[in-house]
Amino acid sequence: MADVASQVAYPTVAQVLNRARAFVNDSFQGGAGRILTNQAAFSTEYINAALEDIQDRIGANNITLIKDNVFLGPLLPLAAPNPATQVYVDYTGFYNGTLYQVTPPVVLPSDCIAVLECWEQQTGSGQPFAPMTQPMYGLPSTWQGPGFGFWEWRQDRINMLGATASNTLRIRYESRYSPIAADNASTSQSSTPNDNWQTTQIKILASVNALAHVVAYFYARARGSQFAPLLQTDGEKYALSIVRRYVRRDQATPYYRQAYGQPNKSINTLGSGGLGGN
């Protein structure tokens, strides 16, 4: 069997900027450019704007950047059960109705933009994590028990009823990439400039054309170029190609209506007696 050379799967920032410079006819100085250079402050902004644009397009088509099996807790129990009490986890900590807890890690991840699913486990029990329920019309008012039971994504946080025992959450969420930092080689403050854009990856596969066209569009529009609309159109075409690739991948997974009375939608019973079989 022939050896396959190891390659970086994701494009780098440098690759995107190099192609964007080619699109706007600025591949001078060996490709480094004269205006759309790595040293130009607006280049960092254009790259981040392009990254946000492509993520928005992917998200708008229900193709999200999912992270799963992330744990929060142990979360403090209530001081006392109270049907009027609600608790929450946000980006700064966990509020249990009385106290604000920040350690151990009980904050939402900084790259989280929406929690999709929650599971819970009584801390230290060793039991499987049980799925929690999202009520259609908000959290009910009831006496709390040892588990949270219900949750609601509201005000950019996980809202719950609280529990009389310590619990740990397992969450599945939609993430967002952090902004790309300026190229080290372009900052005089760096004692050892290393041109980090050559190695900084943009973790969206086969996205150079889409990202480069969006960068080129922002660059051309800011300068009143008549070709800006053409760059925008081409960028949309390449972004659609990314969307279609993810859609085709999702279509490879069979989905079935959840059987009536099936308690856990995360359990696939297809292989044990047909649709909804036992």
Q: What are the sequence ranges of the domains in the chain?
A: 13-62+178-185+195-247, 66-175
Rg (CA), the chain: 24
| Residue 14, number of CB atoms within 10 A of its CB | 17
Cα first-last separation, the chain:
45
| Residue 17, number of CB atoms within 10 A of its CB | 27
CA distances from 198 to 43, 113, 178, 256 (A): 14, 28, 17, 45
What does the pLDDT profile of the chain (278 residues) look like in tens digits? 555 555 668 999 999 999 999 999 999 988 899 999 999 999 999 999 999 999 998 888 777 789 999 999 999 999 999 999 999 999 999 999 999 999 888 999 999 999 999 999 999 999 999 999 999 999 999 999 999 999 999 999 999 999 999 999 999 999 999 999 998 765 544 444 457 999 999 999 999 999 999 999 999 999 999 999 999 999 999 999 999 988 887 676 676 676 776 655 544 443 333 333 43
Confidence at residue 274, expressed as pLDDT on a 0 to 100 scale: 36
Residue whose C-alpha is closest to residue 76's, from 88, 92, 62, 68: 88
Confidence at residue 14, expressed as pLDDT on a 0 to 100 scale: 94
CA distances from 139 to 13, 45, 95, 223 (A): 44, 41, 16, 52
DSSP 100: E
Which residues make beta-bridge pairs with 89? Answer: 94, 158
- How many CA atoms lie less than 13 Å away from 1 in the CB half-sphere? 3
The residue behind tokens 């403090």 is 76
* Distance of alpha carbon 206 from alpha carbon 198, whole angstroms: 17
Instruction: Dump the DSSP string for 238-251.
Output: HHHHHHHHHHHHHH
